[in-house]
Amino acid sequence: MRNPQPFIVIQNGKPLFTVHAYSIDQARAIVAARLADTSGIRIVAQGKGSLR
C-alpha cells in the first residue's frame, strides 16, 4: 500500500497548510473542497529527503 505524500499549499508566496494525498490531482481536489477562493493557490510536492 502506498503512503500519502505531503503537498504544500501556497497562496501569494505564503505557505498555508500541508495536505497529505496520494497524487497531485487528489491534493487539488482536497484544496478546492477546503478553500472557497482558490485564486493564487499553488500546490507543490515536498522534495524527497527534505525535513518535515
Q: Give the dihedral sign, CA 27/30/33/36.
A: negative
Report the pLDDT value the prediction gives residue 36, as an integer from 0 to 100.
81
Report the pLDDT value the prediction gives residue 23, as an integer from 0 to 100.
93
Q: What percent of the chain has pLDDT over 90?
A: 46
Query: How far apart are alpha carbons 2 and 19 in whole angstroms?
Result: 16
For the chain, the domains span: 5-9+13-45
Higher pLDDT, 10 or 52: 10
Report the pLDDT value the prediction gives residue 29, as an integer from 0 to 100.
93
pTM: 0.75
- Tens of pLDDT, residues 19-37: 999 999 999 999 998 888 8
Report the pLDDT value the prediction gives residue 46, as an integer from 0 to 100.
78
- Alpha carbon 40 to its chain centroid, in Å, reads 13
